[in-house]
Amino acid sequence: MNTSVRIRERCRQFLKRQTTEICNVWCTAAIQAHDQKQTERLVRDGSADLRHLIEDIIKSGKTMTKEKAKQEFDSMWNKKIQSIKNNIKPEERLKEAIKFVYANYNIFEKESLPSHEVILSHLEFIHELSKKQYLKDVIVLIQNFFVDNVSKLPDSALERSRQKSDATVVYTCSTLHNFKYLYKETLTNYYTAGTMDLQTPRKTSTNPIPLRFDFIKNIRDTILIQMTSDPKSKSNILNIPELFHKIMNGTIAIVDGNNRIRRPIEIDLIQKIVGFINTYINEINLELVVFKFIIELLYYYVVPDAECDKEGAENFTDKIRSTIQCSLMRDGQKIITRIVETQKNLNRKHIQTICDGKLLAVASDDKWLLRYIVAPNDIIEEEFKILWTAVEARVNQQLSNEKNQWRNILVEFFNCIEFMKSSLAHEGSSVQYIDDMFEASGGAAVDNLKNKGQCMVLLLFTYLSGSKIKEGTSYTVFDKTYTLKPKGLKLFEKLPEQSLQLANLIKEMSDSDNSNNNRMVLASIKNLHVFLQGIMDVQHKIEHDYDNTPATFAAFDKDQIYYKLLDKASGCTSKCPCCDRPCDVDHSAIKSNPGDENNRHACQTGHQLRAMAGTKFEISNEASLFQCEQMEDDKPIIVRGTKKKWSEFKNDHSDWDFGNSITPDELWKLHGKFLNVWSAIGQHLCKRYGMKFVTKNTPQAAPKPFHYILLLDASGSMSGQPWKNLLDGVKEFINIRIDSSVADRMTIIVFADNAKYAYFNTDIKTIDVNQIQFTSGMTNFSNAFDLVVQTVQKAQPQNPMSNSITNLDFIIIFMSDGQAECPDRQLQTLLTMKTKIYQFWTVALGDTEMDTLEEINQKMGGTFKELKDSADLIQIYAEIAQN
């Protein structure tokens, strides 16, 4: 019942988040559409004004030369352009653009995005960017701007990690070598210098040596100093300019699409950029967390002269061709959309499944296999292009068919004109024909002739648009009525009817809506025969121009569909932090930041061998032939030099879903395919990553158990918080050893002026630290070391060849905050049993003289740890437990 309630609650939260984000997307889209409409209305109003001015000139009956008409138009054009400029306020337009981009970004980035007002406070800087001609100059300005701002805030550029420290996570020198963002050469030099100061070389350990507590603290202090004194220095451990440089390059790569074509600012692009930046910052934080830090995140309007019948015919015919091409483009894009929507296999997951299926088929092609492992996106893109070839061929075929259908309409238009021209052959004088077609209601002869020419235009459009021409048809021009005579009616009755497609095309051209860019303005026709012949004279040229119009996907892809699909196939930029296999989730299906709880990264088609990313076993150097699905939560792993449990690794990368998304049978088959690939290219990868090539991993030896002897100072100076911190350190020590799944045993000696066993030779899993009592008193080391000698003597088996659990080497951890006489006799006895003492540690606490403690440690060849604050006891005991 509890599970069902929890699932319902999570589903409710998920649906609420999706509904909210979809609403945000709609709001942003509405703002963008409104903004676009406002701009279009402003330009359209200017176009209407120009049209009215032109019509006034026509009505006035003035006749102008082309040069005079051009001068008149240029004057009107310049005035209108200036009027439009006066109505467009650049600063307001810039604010609207910022508002649009901000709204898109705010859909995915909720936590770290500054408020809209903060962005607008940098309006002057953004305005300066808009003046730059080259993208490179813009990038330099942005990078310098952000670096300078971070440099002014050195104290807030970093913050101490609030994440609870998990002492079971082991950071080693290899962790430093595997850093990608922090200056690992400087860190390695610090580490090497610190290592040379160790007093006595220790025995070779079967486990990598953890980073020392004092080293981590020194590096943390160094980073703070560098960020305060010279935060822009390129030699800093945390190189801020370089981090910004990589973020800018990654963002540009997403926008430019690998130099293919720049993307428009759309929702999916913003989502990908946000996901990239968040993943990048998270990777930096995973390195900084070692040191307890994280980053604080000219167009002429041509009007033919009323008597320019031949030129008007050419313009009219060219407009027919242009309108047909626009209609072809419109219908062609519908074809593309319809076909693409049926393609469900042009995504990363499906293509990767196809590639995985080829692993056996191309087993002999080592070059292809290596590229698929090292540069999988290149192979994915190649496979996408293979799939796309068939889709594009289908699109091109349908576009070609559509083009032929529209060409038939063009041919029909010319046939109509030819039939009309032939019908005029027996209608008498062509010069007087239009004048004889219409009966005028009055007016001067010269005016009537021009007006009848306009009536002829209207009559021609009426016929071509499929409307019935009836007896008594009349038109009103300049307040005078002109009625079609029987002679004219007889001509059009002989003409064939138009197809519905041609009629709709002409209606579209004669549409009075100012928003129609295909509208045809034909002032007047003086000689119908000359006009029709002018159309037929350009038939060959018009048809040739149309035939040369490409009917291919490339020419019709105005919305960049191909590149959007290619981006989706290329998939997410994130790679599995364990095996380096690219994420194959389609994050655009959910409107949330990639890596969010409900939109996490994953390898839905299965993970690859960890060795293919250079992961190996630390001790044997064998390449790890395991997949992420085969890892167990309580088992330790070493990734980039850092040792931690698999469960802890998954917590560090909570933006990834490591759950099995494929069945056990599918996993078994995929593992077999990858092993087959490994046999072909594994040696090459081992040479690249410095690993030992194997085809089967050697079972890893179990960690070596020890008998730990803990000497705990319970003198009066340790009362209160120091004693509590000491016990907390012991608890942490025991938890780490238990988590290591090692059969350790432990003896705990509590001493002051006297010494006693709290536990003797006990299974470490059974020890309850809360039962250890504080004694108080003076400090005496001799009594404590007497019990150490007894413990070593009693715990040793009589038979040296015994496999008993008691036949363990000893590790002695001596902790004190005081001074007392050196237990020379006891130390001499212990030195005779040195072969059984694997390590000796001295933990000195406080500001008092440490001469005796240092002498004891020196005689035993131990490791000396000096602390000023008892709160550091927990970390020190954790460090010892991990050695």
- pLDDT per position as a tens digit, 400-419: 999 999 999 999 999 999 99
Model pTM? Answer: 0.64
Which range is least confidently modeled, 34-43, 385-394, 864-873? 34-43
Q: Which of 34-43, 228-237, 795-804, 839-848 is most confident?
A: 839-848
For residue 605, what pLDDT is reported? Answer: 87
Give the confidence band of 55 by pLDDT, cuts at 50, 70, 90: low
Give the confidence band of 512 by pLDDT, cuts at 50, 70, 90: very low
For residue 519, what pLDDT is reported? Answer: 46
Name the maximum alpha-carbon separation found in the chain. Answer: 142
Give the residue-averaged pLDDT of 152-160: 58
- Mean pLDDT of the residues in the chain: 81
For residue 301, what pLDDT is reported? Answer: 39
Percent of the chain with pLDDT over 90: 24
Give the residue-averaged pLDDT of 521-545: 86
Residue 536 reports pLDDT greater than 80: yes
> Which residues, in sequence order, are CB contacts of 473 under 8 Å at separation 6+?
459, 462, 483, 484, 489
Give the confidence band of 352 by pLDDT, cuts at 50, 70, 90: confident
> Tens of pLDDT along 252-277?
888 776 555 666 667 777 788 888 88
CATH number of 707-882: 3.40.50.410
The neighbour count for residue 213, using CB atoms within 10 Å, is: 16
Q: Which of 183-197, 539-553, 593-607 is most confident?
A: 539-553
Residue 303 reports pLDDT greater than 50: no
Give the confidence band of 229 by pLDDT, cuts at 50, 70, 90: confident
- Enter the tokens of residue 867: 């602390």
Task: Report which of 528, 308, 309 is spatially closest to residue 432, judged by C-alpha positions.
Answer: 528
- Rounded CA separation 832/830 (Å): 5
Backbone angles phi, psi at 762, to 5 degrees: -110, 145
For residue 863, what pLDDT is reported? Answer: 93
For residue 1, what pLDDT is reported? Answer: 43
Residue 330 reports pLDDT greater than 70: yes
Give the confidence band of 30 by pLDDT, cuts at 50, 70, 90: low
Residue 540 reports pLDDT greater than 70: yes
How far is CA 500 from each of CA 497, 504, 787, rounded to the nearest angstrom?
Answer: 9, 6, 109
Beta bridge partners, 645, equal: 636
Q: Are strands 707-713 and 810-816 parallel, antiparallel or unpaired?
A: parallel
Give the confidence band of 710 by pLDDT, cuts at 50, 70, 90: very high
User: Could you tell me where the beta strands, DSSP code E, fall in 63-185?
Assistant: 158-160, 170-171
Residue 749 reports pLDDT greater than 50: yes
For residue 73, what pLDDT is reported? Answer: 76
Do residues 170 and 739 touch, judged by C-beta distance below 8 A?
A: no
Beta bridge partners, 713, equal: 751
Give the residue-averaged pLDDT of 543-569: 88
Residue 36 reports pLDDT greater than 70: no
Task: Report which of 852, 854, 848 is spatially closest to residue 868, judged by C-alpha positions.
Answer: 848
- Enter the tokens of residue 211: 């980073």
- Enter the tokens of residue 656: 């990834």
Residue 197 reports pLDDT greater than 60: no
Which range is least confidently modeled, 303-317, 464-478, 657-671? 303-317
The neighbour count for residue 398, using CB atoms within 10 Å, is: 18
Residue 302 reports pLDDT greater than 50: no
Q: Are strands 480-484 and 474-477 parallel, antiparallel or unpaired?
A: antiparallel
Contacts 24+ apart (CB under 8 A), 24-30: 24/103, 24/106, 24/107, 24/591, 25/107, 25/267, 25/591, 27/103, 28/100, 28/103, 28/104, 28/107, 28/267
Task: Report which of 779, 725, 727 is spatially closest to residue 751, judged by C-alpha positions.
Answer: 779
Give the residue-averaged pLDDT of 820-832: 93
How far is CA 821 from each of CA 160, 750, 816, 848, rounded to the nearest angstrom?
Answer: 42, 17, 13, 15
Q: Where exactly are the structural domains of the chain?
A: 23-151, 209-295, 308-343+368-571, 577-701, 707-882
Residue 852 reports pLDDT greater than 50: yes
For residue 814, what pLDDT is reported? Answer: 95
Do residues 601 and 657 touch, judged by C-beta distance below 8 A?
A: yes
Tell how many helices (H) and how many strands (E) occur in the chain.
30, 16
First to last CA, the chain: 45
Q: Are strands 863-867 and 837-845 parallel, antiparallel or unpaired?
A: parallel
- Rounded CA separation 610/580 (Å): 8
For residue 559, what pLDDT is reported? Answer: 80
Do residues 178 and 640 touch, judged by C-beta distance below 8 A?
A: yes
3-state percent breakdown (helix, strand, coil) of the chain, nearest 5 = 60, 10, 35
Full strand arrangement of the beta sheet holding 745-751 = 755-763, 745-751, 707-713, 810-816, 837-845, 863-867
> Which residues, in sequence order, are CB contacts of 320 under 8 Å at separation 6+?
410, 413, 505, 509, 542
